[in-house]
Amino acid sequence: MDTSILTTARDTLTDSLATLRTTLDARGQVLTARQWEALEATLGCMAGMISGVTPARYHLAALDPGLGKTTALVSFLQALCRQDRTGAVGVLVGLSRKAEIKDVVEAARLHTDDFAVFTADEELNALGGRHPTKARVLFTTQAMIASRCQQHLFADTEVFHYQGHPRRVRIWDETFERARGVTIERDHIPKLYSHFRVRNPDLVSVLETIHRDLEAAEDGNVYQVPDLASAFGLDLGSDYRRAQVDLSTVEDEAARRLILLSNKPCLVRHHQEGRYLISVDEHLPRDLAPLVILDASGRVRDTYALWEHHGNTLVRLPDAPKSYEGLIIHHWARGGGKTAFRSAPATLTDGIADTINSKPDEPWLVIHHKRTKREDPDIEALLKDKITGDTTRVSFLTWGMHHGTNAYANVPNVILAGNLYYREMDYEAIWYAATGKPVEAGGCPPDERRRVEAGEFRHQVLQALCRAVVRKSVGGSCPPCHAYVIASARTTASDLRETFPGCTVVDWVPRIEEPTGRVAEALKIIARWFADNPSQTRVKFKVIYEPLGLTTQKFLTNVRQHRVFMAKLEAMGIREYGKSKMVGFERVSSDTTPGQEAE
């Protein structure tokens, strides 16, 4: 091996570590010894790609937000440009969005002769000063890597080469999926007939056959989708979208998914009277390794664990989870998907606005569902009508745009107005993509599908909450932050605690959510009893549950353990009492002494 390359690798690592430490010290950011070791290992892996000693594997650096992951990347790029005096080492940096490319370019402050930007945006490309194949550092989007390498090896995709060879150093920022799960609903296929019937009647005939076949197919069957690409000239590089300008969003997505499933075996799934096809799109070249993946969600997302378990190509670099002791998560346990907001927009936005108005002088960030259909509520507009005081103190982001931005890193209050939820077959498709298992091999084990679902929830929540001040790191922990999460009851406190080690999870019951049914009746009986017996401070449970016609067990599970009941009871200044077990309710005040009990 050329000794100059070894020297460049060694000097780049030393320089990048010194640069990183200087930058973090200037910010006053203090890391634990374990967090420094994790950053050193990440930079060491990058330097190892310069010399060729890093194995051809996918190296996951699962560093939590705020620990210096992006700063480490920038330090490495700066150091390499200083130390690679012969210009022999090329770097490819793949980012998820064009806005993130601009942010990293501005942070790195490289000389324009040292880098290029390769996207579909000419204004963004103009930030660099070299042709992509001649620039030492090449920034591009991950979508561009997938597009240009479609049906090609990375080694054969010359646009990503440097000096005629594949770039030595390859870095992928944020989520990496070695394949993507693809699903399509049978009922979406007929939506395409009218658009293609005149232009390509044979294609429509094939689509009609697919539609009929799926009606008869049993759940769990394997169905071979015909070769639409070869037979009818349909592929992702064609201009069918441009020709079919009247395709709706749903129709366009259905066409795209059919093309991805073309000539592939698919698994048939039945769900709520519908029929679905499940398969996998291997959208990235198989020779992309060695690659460093910088993904904070690598710690909480089960797709990486499944990839690690079912294959031998993923290597975890040392991690260092930070403490989230400063974070208090308020959990409103009710549905938070798009359907929930369509069915109860007033209740949900009233609850959110009431919470925001409780802190009228503090900044807030609200992450909410994007309005994609006519029936979707305009959440931002509804909230602005209900928020009192200065509405400019409240910022809004939609799901899908909640990754990668640091614009709200000083905001101490964040609300996740719902979450991104998928259907069961979507989680199953993700499982096939993560494990590399062919759909013909059999179904996804239910417990592993549930793991995928929980992991995707943790991934979304981590990325969303870490747009706010919680992303910062102070002595290995996070600053004080209040997060308010609307998520279904199946989202347990343990899910949130696993995502944010050391955090506190409490119930969030906005004043707008009033008790109903037996809970409301029980609260009325308790309030009336204490009002009628002012000299007594305690009442036994049976005085409350007997009028309700409940057993002791039903009263426990349906009333006492109900989140609204517990929150309202606390607001009334009443708590449960007992020694070895709880036996009743007592009124709490600073001058209360034990009184008589109603039997």
Q: For residue 165, what is the domain's CATH number?
A: 3.40.50
Within-domain flag for 512: no
- Percent helix, strand and coil across the chain, each to the nearest 5: 45, 20, 35
Within-domain flag for 322: no
Structural tokens at position 343: 């069915």
- One domain, residues 490 and 378: yes
- One domain, residues 336 and 409: yes
pLDDT by residue (tens digit) across 367-376? 999 988 888 8
CB contact at 8 A, 78 and 43: no
pLDDT by residue (tens digit) across 154-170? 999 999 999 999 999 99
CB contact at 8 A, 416 and 329: no
Q: Which structural domain, as residue segments, surrounds residue 584?
A: 517-598
Give the per-residue pLDDT at 207.
93
Within-domain flag for 489: yes
Q: What are phi and psi of 266, to 5 degrees?
A: -130, 150
Within-domain flag for 321: no
- One domain, residues 358 and 424: yes
Structural tokens at position 161: 């080469």
- One domain, residues 170 and 235: no
Residue that is last in its domain, among 458, 478, 507: 507
Q: Is the peptide bond before 201 cis (omega within 30 degrees of 0)?
A: no
Give the per-residue pLDDT at 597.
35
Within-domain flag for 103: yes
- One domain, residues 224 and 197: yes
Within-domain flag for 56: yes
Distances (CA, A) of 474 to 33, 61, 326, 479, 496: 13, 20, 10, 7, 21
Number of domains observed in the structure of the chain? 4
- One domain, residues 136 and 200: no
- One domain, residues 44 and 116: yes
Residue that is last in its domain, among 258, 281, 304: 281
Within-domain flag for 243: yes
- One domain, residues 560 and 576: yes
Average pLDDT, the chain: 89
Confidence grade of residue 582 (pLDDT, cut at 50, 70, 90): very high
- One domain, residues 162 and 54: yes
pLDDT by residue (tens digit) across 383-441? 999 999 899 999 999 997 766 567 888 999 999 998 888 889 999 999 999 999 999 98
Q: Does residue 593 surpass a pLDDT of 60? A: no
- One domain, residues 272 and 293: no
- One domain, residues 388 and 490: yes
- One domain, residues 304 and 357: no
For residue 182, the cross-strand partners are 279
pLDDT by residue (tens digit) across 433-450? 999 999 998 778 999 999
Q: For residue 391, what is the domain's CATH number?
A: 3.40.50.300
Mean pLDDT of 323-331: 94
Helix (H, G, I), strand (E, B), or coil: what is residue 341?
A: helix
Among candidate residues 125, 277, 131, 147, the one with its CA nearest the CA of residue 214: 277
Within-domain flag for 381: yes
